[in-house]
Amino acid sequence: MAERPLTLMAVHAHPDDEATSTGGVLARYAAEGVTTVLVTCTDGRCGDGPGGVKPGEEGHDPAAVVAMRQAELEASCATLNVTHLETLGYADSGMMGWPTNDLPGAFWTTPVADAAARLAELIRRYQPDVIVTYDENGFYGHPDHIQAHRITMAAVEQTDVPAKVYWTTVPRTAFAEFGRIMKELGVEWAEPDAAEPQLGLPDDEITTWVDTSKYGAQKFGALATHASQTENIFFLQLGQERFTELMGMETFLRVRDRTGSPTPEDDLFAGLR
């Protein structure tokens, strides 16, 4: 009997999140024969509508945005060769403090235990060796990212399936480089407020550095399928080569490990193959 292929599961909040922080690893590991599973928790209804119209503005039709973003998500998965796409279908909660946070069916208001039970069912079905999601602040404080973190960690505890769990992060030096490139391109760039919590981690605290530059074209292509969302336009304007230069290394904090493999590491599956 053939040995079961290794499996990676990425748990994300919205359509397009898969492309920015994990598009490289999804493409790389698919190319290496790993089964890749993407779980998208919300429907993206609080994203931009056609022409960049925002939620609450005239012409923003949440149902139409949901349909558009689902099609974009499926196209992104095809670009990254994702093996399985699972959508939990919770309503996008919008940014922290928006009225949509508290609407019935919003992901942010869903009891963690309920959503975690649904995710746990998927974990038992797919038996992922590695799971990737966000840190406890959802990287930048988005309520749906925070909720995705909470349900993932609860589901991991319930199932005890994955050998390794990672949180996405960015090295602090990369933010400095990003700011330099923004200024070079003539884009207004506000320096981070020292009073605000810093994003990312000091470089020496990052456990895992995965070179995905070989898959830059796929990552760029996946993000391009989500071109309806204006926050992605800047990255697309960089062009594929500059985009890959800036975002060709994906970095993670390893928070669970049963392999004993040393860190820093350059492979999410170190110790498993």
pLDDT, one tens digit per residue, over 114-157 is 999 999 999 999 999 999 999 999 888 899 999 999 999 999 99
The pLDDT score that the predictor gives to residue 155 is 98
Per-residue model confidence (pLDDT) at position 119: 98
Task: Determine the Cα–Cα distance for residues 135 and 148; give it in Å rounded to an integer.
Answer: 9
Contact assessment for residue 89 and residue 118, using Cβ atoms and an 8 Å cutoff:
no
3-state SS, residue 74: helix
Which range has the worst mean pLDDT, 66-80, 125-139, 212-226, 235-249?
235-249
Q: Which of 11-15, 200-204, 220-224 has the lowest mean pLDDT?
A: 200-204
Q: What does the block give as tokens for 243?
A: 């985009």
Provide CB contacts within 8 A for 50, sequence distance 6+: 59, 64, 68, 228
Q: Which of 5-14, 76-85, 124-133, 135-144 bottoms out in mean pLDDT, i.e. has the lowest?
A: 135-144
What pLDDT, on a 0 to 100 scale, did the predictor assign at position 1?
41
Predicted structure pTM score: 0.93
Q: Is 141 left (phi over 0), alpha (psi -120 to 50) or beta?
A: left
Q: To the nearest whole number, what is the mean pLDDT of the chain?
A: 92
Query: Over the range 168-181, which residues count as b (16 or more CB within 10 Å of their CB) and which as e?
Result: bbbbbebeeeeeee
Distance CA 240, CA 222 (A): 11
CB-side neighbour CA atoms (13 Å) of 50? 6
What is the token pair recorded at 81?
């060769």
What is the average per-residue pLDDT within 10-18?
A: 97
| Long-range pairs of 179-182 with CB within 8 A, sequence gap ≥ 24 | 181/238, 181/242, 181/246
Mean pLDDT, range 23-42, rounded to an integer: 98
- Predicted confidence (pLDDT) at residue 244 exceeds the cutoff of 60: yes
